[in-house]
Amino acid sequence: MLKKLGELKAKGYSYLKKITAVDYPDRFEVIYILHNLQANDESIISVKLPHDKPSIESVIGIFKSADWYEREMYEMFGIEVTGRVVKRLLLEEWNSGEYPLRKDFEWGKEYKKAA
């Protein structure tokens, strides 16, 4: 996946528009949306991950703008992003091990705040 993103960047897809994830019943899917500003073209890359212990490698080495997206992916979906140097959370008080964008998240339930 890193190789493919590097190749696309070399072809002019130098703008990372978005990284997001989708929680399907049997897997997660991480989606990268890249834009080629010169050709006004988009490319979408998706990666399937297992539900148990989902993990993906950081792309910050290729796209520095991936930082916030990767942090959001961890906090909202629980998808571990390996290779990150900074592990700081976006929502410093939120670290309960519950992930609000997963299908099994129970809205209205009281969750513990981080200590």
Do the domain assignments include residue 8? yes
**Tens of pLDDT, residues 58-72:** 999 999 999 999 999
84 pLDDT tier (thresholds 50, 70, 90)? confident
- Provide the residue range defining the domain that includes 45: 2-82
Tell me whether residue 102 is in a domain.
no
Q: What is the pLDDT of residue 115?
A: 52
Is residue 37 within 8 A of residue 24, CB to CB? The reply is no
pLDDT score recorded for residue 98? 79
Q: Tell me, what CATH number does 73's domain have?
A: 3.30.460.80
Count of the separate structural domains present in the chain = 1
